[in-house]
Amino acid sequence: MRRQSAAATALWISNRVKLLIRSKAVSPLRSATALQIVMKLENRLALITGGGRGIGRAIAIAFAREGASVAVVARTLKQVRAVAKDIKKEFPVDALPLKCDVRNSESVSDAFHNFRRHFGRGPDIVVNNAGVAKSELFVKTDERFWEEHLNTNLGGTFRCTHAALPEMLERGWGRIINIASIAGKTGAPYISAYAASKHGVLGLTRSLAMEVAAQGITVNAICPGYVDTDMTSQGIENIVAKTGKSARQALKMLEQMSPQNRLVTAEEVAALAVLLASEDGRGINGQAINVDGGTVLF
C-alpha cells in the first residue's frame, strides 16, 4: 500500500469493511468492532440490569463492542442467555447471563457473588437499567402498585449500587450509570408511582455522586424520552385499551411529545452510556442527561 494520510487510511478501512459486509464475510454487528482502533471500555467488567431486552440489551452490546466483558441480568433467563450468546458470537469478550430479581436483596447478592466467582472480581461499571412502568390514576394506585415501582426502579438501583460500590472504592475507579427517565424531572397524569421512583433515582444519583467524587467514581443518570422498546409498546397497548385510539394514533401521540417527532432508539441511549462509562467521561458526574430530542427543556 502506498504511503497515505490518516484520513485516506480511515477511508480505505471503512470501504474495506463495507466490502466485507457486502460479501457477508463480516456481519454488520461486528463491523463496528473492525473499525475500532482504540476500544473505549477495553478490559472493563460491566453489569447491566434489565439487560435481556430493550435499552439494557443495547447497552450490553454497545459495551461489548467497546471491549468490555458484561454480565446481563434480569428475571427472564431465556432473554439474558440469548443476549449473552449474541454478544459472545459477535465480539471477543466474555458475556455472563445472570437471573436476578432486583427487588430482592438476596437475589442481588447472589448475582454479585456469581459475577465475582465468574470474573474473579466485581464490576467496574454498573448500569441500573431494570425497570417497570405502568400507568394508573393516583386514586387507583394501591400499595402493591406503588411498591412495585419504588422497589424495582429505585430499590433495585440502591441494591445493585450498594453491592458494587465497596470494591469500586477499594480500586479507586468505578462508574454507576442509572437509567432514569424524563419522568424523573417532570410530572404527568397517571404516572405518579413511576415518576416518584425516577425522581428518587435522580436524588440518589446526585447525592452519591457528591459522596464519591474524589475517589475515582462517577455516578450519573440518563433520562430518556419515549424509547422504541417493549415498554413503550405496552404503553401504546394501554392507551389503545383505555382511549379507543388505534395503535397508530397512540404511537403518533407519543412521537409528537418530542419536538423531533419520533421515538428515541435504544442505541442512542447506549451511545451515551458508553461515554459515561469510558475514561473520556470522567469529568461528567452527578448529571441527569436527557436523551429525549428536546422534549423537556429547562
Residues that bind ligand NDP (CB under 6 A): 49-50, 52-56, 74-76, 79, 100-103, 129-133, 152-153, 179, 181, 224, 226-227, 229-232
If the CB atoms of residues 122 and 224 are measured against ligand NDP, the closer one turns out to be 224
Closest contact distance (angstroms) between CB of 265 and ligand NDP is 11
Among this protein's residues, is 190 annotated catalytic? Answer: no
* E strand intervals along 180-231: 217-224
Residues in CB range of 151: below 8 A, 6 or more apart:
103
**β-pairing verdict for 125-128 and 174-179:** parallel
d(CA 157, CA 179) in angstroms, rounded, equals 9
Neighbours of 54 (CB within 10 A): 22
Neighbours of 149 (CB within 10 A): 25
Closest contact distance (angstroms) between CB of 194 and ligand NDP is 7
d(CA 132, CA 141) in angstroms, rounded, equals 15
Closest contact distance (angstroms) between CB of 117 and ligand NDP is 20
Cell numbers given for 286: 452527578
Closest contact distance (angstroms) between CB of 183 and ligand NDP is 7
Closest contact distance (angstroms) between CB of 50 and ligand NDP is 3
d(CA 149, CA 164) in angstroms, rounded, equals 22
- Residues 253-281: b if buried by 16+ CB within 10 A, e if exposed: ebbebbeeeebbbbebbbebbbebbbeeb
If the CB atoms of residues 75 and 171 are measured against ligand NDP, the closer one turns out to be 75
Q: How far is CA 99 from CA 5, 84, 136, 152, 266, in A?
A: 49, 12, 29, 15, 22
> Cell 469529568, residue?
283
If the CB atoms of residues 68 and 133 are measured against ligand NDP, the closer one turns out to be 133
If the CB atoms of residues 17 and 227 are measured against ligand NDP, the closer one turns out to be 227
Choose, from 194, 195, 205, 226, the residue flagged as catalytic. Answer: 194
Closest contact distance (angstroms) between CB of 228 and ligand NDP is 8
If the CB atoms of residues 129 and 141 are measured against ligand NDP, the closer one turns out to be 129
If the CB atoms of residues 67 and 224 are measured against ligand NDP, the closer one turns out to be 224
Active-site annotation, residues: 194
